[in-house]
Amino acid sequence: MALAQSMLPPPFLAVAAIQPLPHQRQTLPIGAVRPGILPPRAAKRSAKARLPSAVTDESLSSIISDLELELDDGMAAAGELSGGSTLAERWREIHGRDEWVGLLDPMDPLLRSELIRYGEFAQACYDAFDYDPFSRFCGSCKYSRRKFFSSLGMDGAGYEVTRYLYATSNINLPNFFRTSRVGARTWSQEANWIGYVAVSDDETTARLGRRDLVIAWRGTVTRLEWIADLMDFLRPVTAVGIPSPDAAVKVESGFADLYTDKDPTCRFCKYSAREQVLTEVRKLVERYGAAGDEVSVSVTGHSLGSALAILSAYDIAEMGLNKASGGGGGAAAPVAVFSYSGPRVGNGRFKKRFDELGIKAIRVVNVHDTVPKVPGVLFNERVPELVRKAAEGLPWSYSHVGVELALDHKRSPFLKETGDPSCFHNLEAHLHLLDGYHGKGRRFVLASARDPALVNKSSDFLKDHHMVPPFWRQDENKGMTRAHDGRWVQRNRQEIDDHPEDTHHLLRRLGLAAENN
């Protein structure tokens, strides 16, 4: 009996054993703050008193102390969850109406919950992407659009994916794209799946207080080599067809290429990522605006996906596509960017125009991550104003947009000391840090039942004594299945979603159809 008890898993793994699989998210009603992973101090004392002696011996004491996280006496979990208004009542504030003033320190529980939720929409891009170079579907989404969230264990997400987004791999970002090794037998030799557009269903819309359109862009999970691919050269947005009243508004050239390039010979990237997202937003804003719904546009992305999120949010607002009337007298849908570990995108004039358009952006960063510090290492928003103005015309002077929420992975007792920069950049690690963040100088206390094991899904960042293997997430048998003749083969995919039939019609309405002739 003592031996059996001594082999019990760490507490958070024992709990996870009766929950959905770790890569599946236990979705709560939207707008509700998730219950804490740890009970209040008094409840913990009584729980510890009932543990078998073998579980409370010295060999597990460090694990228990990590899980308790030394809650402040004045911050019992029940206290944080009590009272408060609903998301439907506060959504404009949470969506950035007031630049998140007063919500970050101390951390507002509703805002934390929403930051994690939008981060999980971005994480879904990673979990659904086929990275396997031995798969003939490498570079595509593993799941059909209609079953996207259910295939990821996110049945309760409350959103319907309306469109997949693709980009051409013919641009100079080789470390971002994935291609199969099997050559001509692949689903596409030119395209990569790069994200999706989704809209909240009726029930979720009622909880949110508005119809929410989500645009999620794929970034990079672990490999940071794409940074070296950046040309670190600013280009006017007007040079790539993005409108601006200020010709001095510029963005990094590689981001602009990824967003606007296309391949007319390819079924999946005959339209640019820009054209795909603009037509879908136009259609959805008109549809739900005509139905009388209040609409919001929420754009999310991690890493390189964050750059696309910021660029596309700017484009949507500059084109007036967040208005049901297409720029007339209709009320504009608020546009907000939820960015995770994103690089700088444009120059100071880009930031100025971004702000003038009323776009809100909150950037969640790990202070030890290098990606948010590039490009623009020498000239950026942090240098003195006189230096910044003098360098404004230089092709390597950049400025972040929005409000920064800086986190520090060294505050989490779950995470190990490491020099691996990919750990510092990992999105699941950022969501873990958000879960434990309560404000500057406050102790790290997990505020929800979000499983810390998710951190090691695509990294080796958790301390070893938690007994969570690194890089543990993979498809069963790596996607192989046994055929009727007994041979092991790759699962076939019946259909890969491409573009809605009305895309060209919508492009014509936007005045962009000529670009596809």
pLDDT digits (tens, 9 = 90+) for 283-309: 999 999 999 999 999 999 999 999 999
pTM (two decimals): 0.83
Active site residue 438: no
The residue that leads in pLDDT, 426 or 72, is: 426
Largest interatomic CA distance in the chain: 76
- 375 cis-preceded (ω within 30 degrees of 0): yes
pLDDT given for residue 47 in this prediction? 36
Mean pLDDT of the chain: 82
Active site residue 369: yes
Cβ atoms of 354 and 210 within 8 Å: the answer is no
Question: CA torsion sign, 121 to 125 to 127 to 128?
Answer: positive
pLDDT at 2 over 50: no
pLDDT given for residue 71 in this prediction? 38
pLDDT at 82 over 50: no
The SS3 call for residue 222 is coil
CA pair distance 1, 7, nearest whole angstrom: 10
CA pair distance 113, 34, nearest whole angstrom: 7
pLDDT at 46 over 50: no
Residue 292 vs residues 133, 211, 289, 516: alpha-carbon distances, Å = 46, 10, 5, 33
| Range 207-233 average pLDDT | 80
Band of residue 388 on the pLDDT scale cut at 50, 70, 90: low
pLDDT given for residue 238 in this prediction? 97
pLDDT given for residue 73 in this prediction? 35
Band of residue 442 on the pLDDT scale cut at 50, 70, 90: very high
- The catalytic position among 127, 369, 451, 497 is 369
Structure tokens at 333: 């849908």
Q: pLDDT digits over 471-504, tens only?
A: 999 888 888 899 999 999 888 876 788 888 889 8
Highest mean pLDDT among 17-26, 186-195, 319-328, 331-340: 331-340
pLDDT at 225 over 90: no
- The catalytic position among 135, 188, 296, 303 is 303
Q: Which of 121-130, 229-238, 403-412, 479-488 has the lowest mean pLDDT?
A: 229-238
- The catalytic position among 302, 400, 425, 438 is 425
Per-residue three-class SS string for 307-368: HHHHHHHHHHHHCCCCECCCCCCCCECCEEEEEECCCCCECHHHHHHHHHCCCEEEEEEECC
Active site residue 303: yes
Share of the chain above pLDDT 90, in %: 60
pLDDT at 347 over 80: yes
Residues 6+ apart with CB under 8 A from 309: 215, 217, 299, 300, 301, 337, 338, 339, 342
pLDDT given for residue 376 in this prediction? 80
pLDDT given for residue 499 in this prediction? 87
pLDDT given for residue 330 in this prediction? 64
2-516 in CATH: which number? 3.40.50.1820
Band of residue 32 on the pLDDT scale cut at 50, 70, 90: low
pLDDT given for residue 133 in this prediction? 87
pLDDT at 195 over 90: yes
